[in-house]
Amino acid sequence: MMQKGDWQLRLMAYLDNELSPVDRKAFEEEMAQNREIRLEMEKLQTVKNMTTRIAFTDLEDADWKHYWRGIYNRTEQTVGWVLLSAGAIILSVYGLYHILQDLWLDTSVPFVIRAGLFAFLAGLVILLVSVARHRLHTAKKDPYRGVTR
């Protein structure tokens, strides 16, 4: 008598007509003696019959265009925002570096003041970029955009 794992593999091969004639006959004999294999065979045969009858419908050209336009728009916008944000942060940091370089190297200004000013300006630039990006993103989805008061 076959172990459960063995007959499950053979059952799938049997359903897909992948067994040799000798193995097929041996499996059919085993199936005739084992009720559990027969029940599993009936379930899998039902599933196989159902899946072979499934027919996929073709989408209309307008549906395909709408689908791809959505993917391209989302991809373009995501990449655009990432690049814009990264560029704004890089340029801001570069500008802050050059502006603060003189202040940073000026030893007459206490270190705490220099570090605090740098942190303040860097945070301000990052927040401004973040708020601008958020406002532009939500402006497209604002349900009250066309409402006049």
Domain-wise residue ranges, the chain? 4-52, 61-140
pTM: 0.37
Give residue 5's pLDDT: 65
Q: Is the pLDDT of residue 84 over 60?
A: yes
The pair of structure tokens assigned to 97 is 């570096």
Cβ-contact 7, 30 below 8 angstroms: yes
Q: In which band, very low, low, confident or very high, does the pLDDT at 137 lie, cut at 50, 70 and 90?
A: confident
Q: Which of 18-32, 39-53, 102-116, 122-136 has the lowest mean pLDDT?
A: 102-116
The whole-number pLDDT of residue 25 equals 92
One-letter amino acid identity for 33? Q
Tell me, what's the pLDDT at 21? 92
Whole-number Å distance between alpha carbons of 88 and 124: 12
d(CA 2, CA 30): 8
Indicate the pLDDT class of residue 87, thresholds 50, 70 and 90.
very high
Percent of the chain with pLDDT over 70: 93
